[in-house]
Amino acid sequence: MGLKSFLPYGLLLALLMSFPLRVLAQSGGWWVVRAPMTSSRTEVAVVEVGGKLYVVGGFGQGGDLVEEYDP
């Protein structure tokens, strides 16, 4: 699954931090459940570096954390 499939859903990722992460499967167009993030927070920043997503800051539990997601 290519990283381009994940980038449009950065906002969705930010809104669903406390729920299991769902990503859109490239073939077939269905949602696939992935591991949840470790902390629940809102208004985070999400950036892609080297094929990985980094979730930074935000409000709520773990607002001072940086989490890495490797699709």
Q: What is the pLDDT of residues 35-53, one digit of tens each?
A: 777 877 888 888 889 988 8
**Cβ partners under 8 Å of residue 60, min gap 6:** 17, 39, 40, 41, 42
Q: What is the DSSP letter of 14?
A: H
**Which residues make beta-bridge pairs with 48?**
53
Global pTM? Answer: 0.54
Calculate ∠ Cα 37-42-46, nearest 5°.
65
- Please compute the mean of the pLDDT values over residues 19-47 and round it to a whole number: 74
Q: Is 12 helix (H, G, I), strand (E, B) or coil?
A: helix
Identify which has the larger pLDDT, 12 or 22.
22
Q: What is the DSSP letter of 19?
A: S
